Structure 1
Amino acid sequence: MKKSLQLFYSFLKKPQPLKFSHNRKELVKDFFSILLLNFCFAILLLSVLSCFAHFNLVNVYEGPNFLNEYGIIGTFIFVCIFAPISEELVFRWHLKDINGTIYFVSLSIAIIIVSYLSNSWIKFAVVTIALLAAANVISSIRTKNRFLSIRIWKKAYPYLFYFTALIFGLVHLSNYKDLSITDPSFVFYIGSQAFGALGLGYIRIKNGLIYAILLHALYNFICFSILAIVH
C-alpha cells in the first residue's frame, strides 16, 4: 500500500499519459489504496466542515436526498451503476485520447460560459462554436505534424489532468441547493469529489477505463450502503 501511494504521489507531481499496466497484483494494491485514501480524505473534509458549521464559520447547504426521492432500488441504480459509468465516460475517457481531450476542453469552457448566460440561442451558439472549433483543431492535427501535436499534448497534460479533476468537482455543485463558487465554503462541499477525481484519473490512465468505473462504483456503493443503513 505504501508503494502504491508513493507511486500515486509521484504521478501527481507531474501527470503523464502512462502506458497501460497489466500487473494484476499491482492493480489490486493501487485500487484499494486509492479507495482508502479517498475515504480518508472525505472523512477528514467532512469533519472539518462539521466543525466549522458548528461554530457558524461556513454556510450550511442542503445536499441531495436520493433515498427519499428515488427509494433504495432507484438510488442504487442511479448512484452505483448509472453515475459511475456516465461520469467516467464523460470525465475520464478522454485522458488517453488527444481528440477526446480537445473536445472535452472546448465543451468544458463552453459550458462554463453558458452557465453565465440566459438567452437559449446564445447558449446554443456558444456550444456550436466550441464543437466546430474542436473539430477544426483535430482536422488541423491530422493534416499537419501529428507527432508535434502529441508532444504539445504531453507537455500540457498535467494542466489537462488537474483541469479535468476541477471540472468534475465543480459539476457536483449542483448537488447542493443554492451553493455556488461565490461562497468560499464550496471547497468543503466538492473537495472530496475533486480529490477523488485524481485517483480515478490515475487508475483510468494506468489500468484502463473499466477499472476507474469499478472504483467509482465501489466507492459509491459503500457510501450508499452507509446511508441506507442510517436511513
Structure 2
Amino acid sequence: MYNKFTLFQGNTSFILSSFIFYIFILIYTYFVSDPIFQFYEIEGYDDSFRDLDNIGVFSALLIAPVLEELIFRGYLTGYRKHFLLIIPQIIIMLIIFYNYFIIVSLISTFLIFLFYYDKKRTEDLISNQLLYFSIFFTSILFSLIHYENFQIDSFYFSLMLSLIAFLPGALYLAYVRFKGGLIYSTITHFLMNLSILTINEIIY
C-alpha cells in the first residue's frame, strides 16, 4: 500500500517537497499558463486585490479554500470508509455540466463500479490504482468548474484553458491533502490564492 503522513509531525522531506512543488506551481503560472492567455488576449486570469471587492477577497482567501478542499479533496484519505464522500462532486458535476448528463453519468457509474470492484480485494484501504484514478478525476473536475473564470465565448476553449491553468495546482493540492491532511491542503490553498492575488497586484 502507501505510507501516510500526518500534519506537523516533523516530516521535513514532505515539507521540503511541498515547498518545491509550491514554487513550481507559481513558476508554471507566470511562465507557462499566463503567457498562453496573453497570446490569445484572454481576460480573467489576472485578477488582483484591486479587481475584487471585500466579498471577493473573502471568498478567494477563505470560502474557496475551505469549501473546495472539503468538497473536492475531503475524501482523499485512502480509506474505503471515506471514498463515497466523492458523491457531492458527482452531484456538482451533474448540475454544472447538465448538457452532458449521459457522459457525466457514465463516468460516475464507472467510479462507483471501481470502488465496489476494488472492495473485493482490500478491507480498510482502497488500492493505489483507485486512489490515483480518484486524484486525477478530482483534479480534472476541480479545474473544469473554473471555466467561467475566462471571459471568452467558446465553451470548449474555456474548458481547455481551465485545464491548462488549474490542473497542475489541483494535482499538487491533492498530493498535499493526501500526504499532510485536509488542514494542510486548506492552508496551502489559501497561500496559493494569496500569492497569486499579490503577484498579480504587482505585475499586472
Q: TM-score, normalised by structure 1?
A: 0.65
CA contact (8 A) 1:20 1:207 kept: yes
Alignment of 1:62-211 (within 5 A): 62=44, 67=49, 70-71=52-53, 73-96=54-77, 97-104=79-86, 106-114=87-95, 115-117=97-99, 148=122, 150=124, 153-177=127-151, 181-183=155-157, 186-211=159-184
Query: Structure 1 residues 152 and 203, CA, compared in 2 at 3 Å: closer, same or farther?
Result: closer
Which residue matches 1:213? 186
Alignment of 1:19 with 2:1, yes or no, is no
Deviation readout 1:109-150 (Å, 9 max, x if unpaired): 444344325xxxx9xxx99xx8xxx7xxx9x89xxx776355
> Please, what is the CA RMSD of the aligned residues?
3.7
Alignment of 1:224 with 2:201, yes or no, is no
SS at 1:161 equivalent: helix
Higher CA-based Rg: 1
Gaps of 5+ in 1: 1-15, 55-59
Alignment of 1:47 with 2:35, yes or no, is yes
Q: What is the CA distance between 1:101 and its match in structure 2? A: 2.4
Gaps of 5+ in 2: none
CA–CA distance in structure 1, aligned partners of residues 148 and 123 of structure 2: 35
CA–CA distance in structure 2, aligned partners of residues 152 and 202 of structure 1: 16
Paired residue total = 190
CA–CA distance in structure 1, aligned partners of residues 38 and 182 of structure 2: 34
SS at 2:134 equivalent: helix
Query: Structure 1 residues 39 and 225, CA, compared in 2 at 3 Å: closer, same or farther?
Result: same
CA contact (8 A) 2:71 2:89 kept: no
SS at 1:18 equivalent: coil
